[in-house]
Chains A and B, each alone.
Chain A
């Protein structure tokens, strides 16, 4: 539960904080929704879950993107996610994206030309750009929610 005091009434932490700054929260939700519109949902969901693991955001690990599951993401793959570098469950395309996403979270200055080139090879220039933008959105969003102590966020 969020540690912010004197919030308006609401069913969830998100609702209560959103009531405080409705326009800002609506715009923030819009950016997160847009991230899913411009990117492959399975790739982005895998990246989102790795971001949650790296940031220690356990509540985010418990939920799933419906878009990703509808697009074929399985729980078996999610269960194997920590072993993505070596697990045969993951394709080269997914490995390239997860490698870039992890480095982005740990230290963006450490992202190499080779990592970007590999993602570009699989997704194309436009796809790589959109993937990096989407990862940036979800990482920022998770950090903001963690900072504010928000556990339940809109799906």
Chain B
């Protein structure tokens, strides 16, 4: 998939892939913190979490 937003040189990493964290740094940092907390939560079992993630990705046509 071709990015729709033109990427600045600093938004492309050493492998030529988009790395957009610097384009909205405050949100990227906060999202990273939320991910850390979510992964540490043990009240939701990992199998259910993964099934929901895959199901949602399919529903949204997100094939990464």
Residues of A within 8 A of B (CB): 21, 23-24, 26-28, 30-31, 33-35, 37-38, 108-109, 113, 116-117, 120, 125-126, 128-130, 133-134, 137
Contacts and interface: CB of A to CB of B under 8 A. Distances in A.
Given A35-B27, A126-B23, A134-B24, A116 B34 contact: no
A116 B5 CA distance: 7
B20 A129 contact: yes
A28 B8 CA distance: 29
B6 interface: yes
A24 to B, nearest CB: 5
Interface size class of chain B, counting residues whose CB lies under 8 Å from the partner chain:
20 to 34
Contacts of A21: 41, 43
Contact of B34 (A28, A38, A120): A28
Nearest to A23: B37
29 contacts: A24-B34, A24-B38, A24-B41, A27-B30, A27-B34, A27-B36, A27-B37, A28-B34, A31-B27, A31-B30, A31-B31, A33-B30, A34-B26, A37-B27, A38-B25, A108-B60, A113-B4, A117-B4, A120-B5, A125-B6, A126-B8, A126-B23, A126-B24, A128-B5, A129-B24, A130-B23, A130-B24, A130-B27, A133-B28
Nearest to B20: A129
B61 interface: yes
- Name A's interface SS: helix
Interface in B1-52: 4-8, 20, 23-31, 33-34, 36-38, 40-41, 43
B30 A125 contact: no
Interface of B: 4-8, 20, 23-31, 33-34, 36-38, 40-41, 43, 60-61
B61 A133 contact: no
